[in-house]
Amino acid sequence: MVLQPVILSGGSGTRLWPLSREKHPKQLLALIGEETMLQATATRIRDFDGELAVAHTMIVVCNEEYRFITAEQLRAIGFAKPTLLLEPAGRNTAPALTLAAIEAAKNDADAVLLIMPADHVIADVPEFHAAIQSGLPQAIAGAMVTFGIVPNRPETGYGYIQVGDALPGSDARSLRAFVEKPALETAQQYLQEGNYLWNSGIFMLRASVWLKAIAHLNPAMYDACKRSMQEAKVDCDFVRVDKELFLSCPSDSIDYAVMEKLPASPDLGIPGCVVPFDAGWSDVGAWDAVWQVSDKDAQGNSVHGEVMMEDSRNCLVISDSRLVTCLGLDDAIVIETPDAILVTNKHNTQNIKRIVNRMKEGNYPQTDNHRKVYRPWGHYDSIDSGEHFQVKRIVVTPGGRLSMQMHHHRAEHWIVVSGTALVTRGEETMTLVANQSTYIPLGVKHRLENHGTVDLELIEVQSGAYLGEDDIVRFDDIYGRVAG
């Protein structure tokens, strides 16, 4: 029996736009500190020393749209071979956990799964480890353990867990009920009563226990996940569940699908319990939450990037690409990116979804991706564009290799800025270094590779009648891509 970390990394983080986007969501961002939230979640459990050894392989459930950057971020912090389960579409946390439990049960049906959302902040890691250790005996014995955050204020943005008596010989408490996000008056009452905790969304349980519960309480979900895993295909470092079968799966959260039903399902024989802990937790669900957990100056301002503040207080200002100056602002949020800027009052950040929904209705590209787009071989930044032309800065990491491809509607001119490029153009193969260039005519097969030990940087000038990313015909790709 091992402690099997499971990271759920499927959210989109709409309320953290414009930094968080559909194909580059908040868990892939370094909002607090140097590590991204995904990386911080993974490293949080690395040094755990408890009753069970931590499994060598981490299971991560993520959307296939950002599979490559997820794998790269984990590799960058030493997790070379995680098990990456790819969801073709989001179906909430209960199906994601079911996929992970089925995968874990292949090696150990009684592995204790530690389920962690990829987009949370926990400041006090030793306290988190202590909470895990407190809940382990209950999980090993067959209970479903959830972790409740000791509240320090009446919070209307979180769900709550009502707890009962302490369990004998344990810091865990009995589970009475899950409660929806309350009104302010109710939240104040919860705080005064002292037997309500914030719902952290972190769980610990045996794989076999979860599969037994989900099969009993939601057989349609269990069946869809089981069949989609039976038909899964291994693709490079990824496990692709069957798309058609998984899309038939009902969408529901761990709370709704199972946890809330435990007290009313004694025939299951699966108890639920709660481990309270206070470790500087935040789900960083909106920009005001980012401000709360960030370092601040004497005026209460948290600034990142090239920012100048004057006569301003209690603001969060993030600059990604240029100088941002703020004069006479109070309780403001200013988020600058190369292609979009958000300015709002700190107390209105829960409504950013309204703006994002309007942009989606208008087909604004800023809801989907950043100007800088990550690929398995590196990234590109669309630095300028106009009618019938586009200019990109392309960076290919060492060992990176673009697909052999051609375009029906555009030609390309490549100018090497630094590094060494191996270029295939039609039947030719050539090596280009800094200040050298080549031209790729429309309709000609071509490939770009970096066989060097440093990044290859080049400028690509595209010209043609249509410059969309879907004008790519792939003939060969080491990353298994068909398009995109």
Q: Is the pLDDT reported for residue 321 higher than 60? A: yes
In a domain, 224, yes or no: yes
Which residue, of 282, 300, 315, is where some domain finishes? 282
Beta-sheet pairing, 238-240 with 83-87: parallel
In a domain, 236, yes or no: yes
In a domain, 481, yes or no: no
Same domain, 395 and 295: no
Same domain, 92 and 211: yes
The CA R_g of the chain, rounded to the nearest whole Å, is 25
CA gap 160, 169 in Å, rounded: 25
| pLDDT (0 to 100) of residue 12 | 76
From residue 86, alpha-carbon distances to 222, 241, 463 in Å are 17, 6, 35
In a domain, 263, yes or no: yes
Same domain, 270 and 309: no
Same domain, 51 and 153: yes
Q: pLDDT per residue over 217-258, tens digit each? A: 999 999 999 999 999 999 877 999 999 999 999 999 999 999
Which residue, of 282, 302, 326, is where some domain finishes? 282
Per the model's pLDDT, the better-predicted residue between 13 and 454 turns out to be 454
Same domain, 395 and 447: yes
In a domain, 329, yes or no: yes
- Going by pLDDT thresholds of 50, 70 and 90, the confidence category of residue 483 is low
Q: Is the pLDDT reported for residue 52 higher than 60? A: yes
Q: pLDDT per residue over 140-193, tens digit each? A: 999 999 999 999 999 988 999 999 999 988 889 999 999 999 999 999 999 999
User: What is the average pLDDT across 284-295?
Assistant: 93
Same domain, 212 and 255: yes
Which residue, of 282, 313, 340, is where some domain finishes? 282
- Going by pLDDT thresholds of 50, 70 and 90, the confidence category of residue 384 is very high
Cβ(449)–Cβ(416) under 8 Å? no
| pLDDT (0 to 100) of residue 263 | 83
Q: Is the pLDDT reported for residue 353 higher than 60? A: yes
| pLDDT (0 to 100) of residue 484 | 45
Same domain, 321 and 439: no
Same domain, 34 and 63: yes
| pLDDT (0 to 100) of residue 80 | 83
In a domain, 484, yes or no: no
Domain limits at 399? Answer: 372-476
| pLDDT (0 to 100) of residue 120 | 95
| pLDDT (0 to 100) of residue 97 | 98
CA gap 386, 463 in Å, rounded: 10
User: What is the average pLDDT across 56-85?
Assistant: 92
Same domain, 347 and 381: no
Give buried/exposed letters for 78-105 (b at 16+ CB in 10 A, else e): ebeebbbbbbbeebbbbbbbbbbbbbbb
- Going by pLDDT thresholds of 50, 70 and 90, the confidence category of residue 65 is confident
In a domain, 319, yes or no: yes
Q: Is the peptide bond before 219 cis (omega within 30 degrees of 0)?
A: no
Q: Is the pLDDT reported for residue 327 higher than 50? A: yes
Q: pLDDT per residue over 404-423, tens digit each? A: 999 999 999 999 999 999 99
In a domain, 483, yes or no: no
Same domain, 188 and 321: no
Same domain, 207 and 301: no
Same domain, 312 and 189: no
Please report, for the domain that includes residue 431, its CATH number: 2.60.120.10
Question: How many independent structural domains does the chain possess?
Answer: 3
From residue 73, alpha-carbon distances to 149, 271, 331 in Å are 28, 37, 33
